[in-house]
Amino acid sequence: MSQKKAVLSRRNFLLTVGAGGAATAAAIVGGKATAPAVGKTDKRATEGYKVSAHIDNYYRTTKV
């Protein structure tokens, strides 16, 4: 009987550790979501994708 109790407590410990890790990860991810600053724009984020000469050259050289 004591062996069965030891196995169950080990399982409960591992279950608790796993659940605690998942809860910690969820709290960290949820905490980093913040609203962007109003009026402050990142120039790189608004430009979009543009093909330049070196990118055009790369695409040209990769054609089979």
Q: Can you give the residue ranges of every domain in the chain?
A: 2-62
Which pLDDT tens digit goes with each residue over 33-55? 555 566 666 666 667 788 899 99
* Mean residue pLDDT across the chain: 76
Amino acid 3: pLDDT: 64
Give the mean model confidence (pLDDT) for residues 28-32: 72
Radius of gyration of the chain (CA): 26
Amino acid 2 reads S
Return d(Cα 35, Cα 28) in angstroms, integer: 16
